[in-house]
Amino acid sequence: MNLKGKVALITGASRGIGRAIAHAYVDAGAAVVITARGAPALYAVREELLQKSGHVLAVVADVSRSSEIARLVEATLAEFGQIDVLVNNAGILGPSPRPPLIEFDEHTFNEVLRVNVTGPFLMTKAVLPHMLERGSGSIINVTSGAGYGYAYWGAYGVSKGALDALSRTWAGELEGSGVRVNLVNPGRTQTQMQREAYPDEDISDYPLPEEITPVFVWLASDDAKDVNGEYFEAQEFVIPAS
């Protein structure tokens, strides 16, 4: 799976799954733009990636705020001139330990939905004019099995259910445009968010983020150019025979 010549924008890439996707994309030959709110961790990942490739840009931004998104997309186009892939990976869990829904206050509920749903909506809106003009693009939204709506998954579960609907809506409306929108559920993976979700559990048996990246590379590649509106389980993914 070759990503040479492609430019990928990955949100929430300062640690965990986003960081692993950025490494996998650089390893496959893509230029990458990474973003997160916290500068020190983001710049540390930029340094790691620069050891492998010169085609790396790090932009500190909150992907739930349109003014920061506009700055991020402008910086990406100024640096690389194109955006082929958008991975809407940034997300927040909300309070840990996970409270019942009745204990959520309005601000916290809205904040989780703003980052996990409004963020991917605004990011997609921001890159779409460019992708539609070029007639191609791969947008990958990182969801969760919690999106079904289980007890004690609170605003996070609600947000991922909404993200699934958002993604299928985009996919339907973009069918035939060359721009595709797909969902990936990483499954339980060893990250900070997983530790926040299960503060009392030993998660050291779960896959590392680096182990679940093949589906993200495949969806970014031209091998998946006709795949739109699909839902993938990262830990069960097998590259389809071409």
Binding site for ligand NAP (CB under 6 A): 11-18, 35-38, 41, 62-64, 89-92, 115, 119, 142, 144, 185-186, 188-189, 191-194
Q: How near is the Cβ of 198 to ligand NAP at its closest, in Å?
A: 9
Q: How far apart are CA 34 and CA 27, in angstroms?
A: 15
Give the H or E element holding residue 139. strand 137-142
The number of CA neighbours under 13 Å toward the Cβ of 125 is 14
Catalytic residue among 152, 156, 198, 206: 156
CB nearer to ligand NAP: give 22 or 174: 22
Q: For residue 157, which of 167, 143, 142, 139 has the smallest C-alpha distance?
A: 143
Q: How near is the Cβ of 126 to ligand NAP at its closest, in Å?
A: 13
Q: How near is the Cβ of 13 to ligand NAP at its closest, in Å?
A: 6
Nearest residue to ligand NAP on Cβ basis: 16
Catalytic annotation on 156?
A: yes
Would you give the distance in Å from CA 214 to the centre of its chain?
A: 14
CB nearer to ligand NAP: give 137 or 186: 186
CB nearer to ligand NAP: give 2 or 192: 192
Cβ–Cβ under 8 Å, residues 88 and 139: yes
Q: How far apart are CA 129 and CA 122, in angstroms?
A: 12
Q: Could you give the residue numbers annotated as active site? A: 156
